[in-house]
Structure 1
């Protein structure tokens, strides 16, 4: 394993044994991506995974491993396309109060994502946005990309999601939907947006990879760990959540997460089961 891989493992605070994860999972996946026919540049690789499934970590290693193959990859997180806090507040006032909370389809600037892909295809310089979860708002700084991009790693919890059948939306799935969306307006709009701009964005994907957690209980557990890390890294942050707030936050994601866990494995190009330790379980098959 190269020094750069070991350096990244150390920078991410991962155990030395993570070299096995790199060797058994991310190297084969990088090889598969590098071997894809280059019908256009960039190729778009969708990395789907519920909160805490390791999407960001996987993308960092894929960028490094692809660079060793002279393939330039950059990562765009769906999180970084979130609408600003002010725009979500406007959406909440004019459409439905639940859209104040980031996460579900309808709370992203999808047109911005499509424009970034268009700029990459044209070889134009571009500014990647960044979202600051500690302040629950888009960060003022951006990340400048110049020169050609071979691979775009588009990662996010609902990347590649398909809408549910209308009949499945009738009954609330949790207390949040029952108490705060009794008429189904919010969940029907979320589903509708998946048929619109989100479908156009996800149609750009050339290879869909699913990091599949065991179930929604794993999402709650992993998201709690993320919040602990966020509080530790940002002790003065005003937008971190206590247990009750976190449970309510996760409830916004529950319907679509359960839907994806049920239907996406049958159509994803690569499915990587994720264990309780947030590491992959089985080697990727070429």
Structure 2
């Protein structure tokens, strides 16, 4: 793989694209629309979400952003799940490792104009931030931007689960229990969350092969932003990305036909069309 620059940040998206995203959400007809931005790891979801919120603020609107990553189960909750179902569920990421009642309650409160708090998750600590530190939102928002790496993705057919996809599945999920459980959870529990979206945008990378590099750059940025705190090594990250690979490839196959807008990206995260 190519060398990674010491300093890294995802380039900002063009103002025209950000304007289109905001206008598309506001045209939904909802008092507080939910704009979902889906995209694989490192694709620029958080950057686009922040720009949309910034533009909304510049127009005098109240907007906020939330990531599905901020609704991960706590480490203790994931460990209990790992003990009960499969050891791989101790690792955050795949379907089943999110606190869906928390996510649903947050989106519903935003939609109804009720006061609520924005959950936050500390990825370097691999733990949910204490609730006392969550931002409180009082009064109705004009927009909530919800971003996440597999938003809107449907479950795979059972036949697709038979063959292990990577070394993680071959070595740690040889009997397929973990991937079948995650896929069933995706089929049963996540559609209720997807139905909360008023608009779904998909940042489409050229393929899954770019994701390990993008996620490594993201990991470096996290560590540079918090000197003295430990994160993942390159080897640990290469294994970590394998937890996401199956659903990521499913997203690449299905979301272009599901999303309201698809933004194709090149290997440097640049949109191929303005």
What TM-score results when the alignment is normalised by the length of structure 2? 0.92
**Of 197, 206, 215, the match for 2:189:** 197
Deviation track 1:84-141 (CA, whole Å, cap 9, x = no partner) reads 1111111111110111111011110011011112222332211111100110101112
Deviation at 1:247, TM superposition (A): 0.8
Question: What secondary structure does 2:263 align onto?
Answer: strand
- Residue number in structure 2 paired with 1:258: 249
Distance 2:273 2:227 in 1: 37
Any idea what SS the aligned residue of 2:14 has? helix
Deviations 1:223-264 (A, max 9, x none): 0101111222223223x1112111110000000101110111
- 2:83 is the alignment partner of 1:84: no
Deviations 1:176-216 (A, max 9, x none): 10111111111111111112221101111111100011111
Please list every run of 5 or more consecutive structure 2 residues that lacks an aligned counterpart in the other structure: 1-7
* Number of corresponding residues: 265
Cα deviations across residues 52-90 of structure 1 (Å, max 9, x unaligned)?
110011011101222334442211100000011111111
**CA distance in structure 2 between the partners assigned to 1:34 and 1:203 by the alignment:** 17
Equivalent pair of 1:54/1:279 in contact (CA under 8 Å): no
Alignment of 1:238-253 (within 5 A): 238=230, 240-253=231-244
Q: Tell me if structure 2 keeps the 8 A contact 1:75–1:152.
A: yes
CA deviation vs aligned residue, 1:1-55 (integer Å, no higher than 9, x gap): xxxxxxxxxxx9677xx5xx332311222222222223xx321211101111100
In structure 2, do the counterparts of structure 1 residues 14 and 257 end up closer, same or farther at CA, with 3 Å as the change threshold? closer
2:4 corresponds in structure 1 to none
CA distance in 1, matches of 2:211, 2:121: 21
- Counterpart of 2:105? 115
Question: C-alpha distance in 2, partners of 1:137/1:14?
Answer: 24
Deviates more, 1:24-33 or 1:110-119: 24-33
Query: What's the CA shift for 1:156?
Result: 0.3
Kindly tell me: are residues 13 and 167 of structure 1, through their superposed partners in 2, closer, same or farther at Cα, counting changes over 3 Å? closer
Q: Partner of 1:279 in structure 2? A: 270
d(CA) in 2 for partners of 1:197 and 1:58? 27
Runs of 4 or more, structure 1, over 4 Å off, are 12-15
Which among 154, 158, 166 is matched to residue 174 of structure 1? 166
What corresponds to 2:43 in structure 1?
53
Deviates more, 1:64-73 or 1:215-224: 64-73
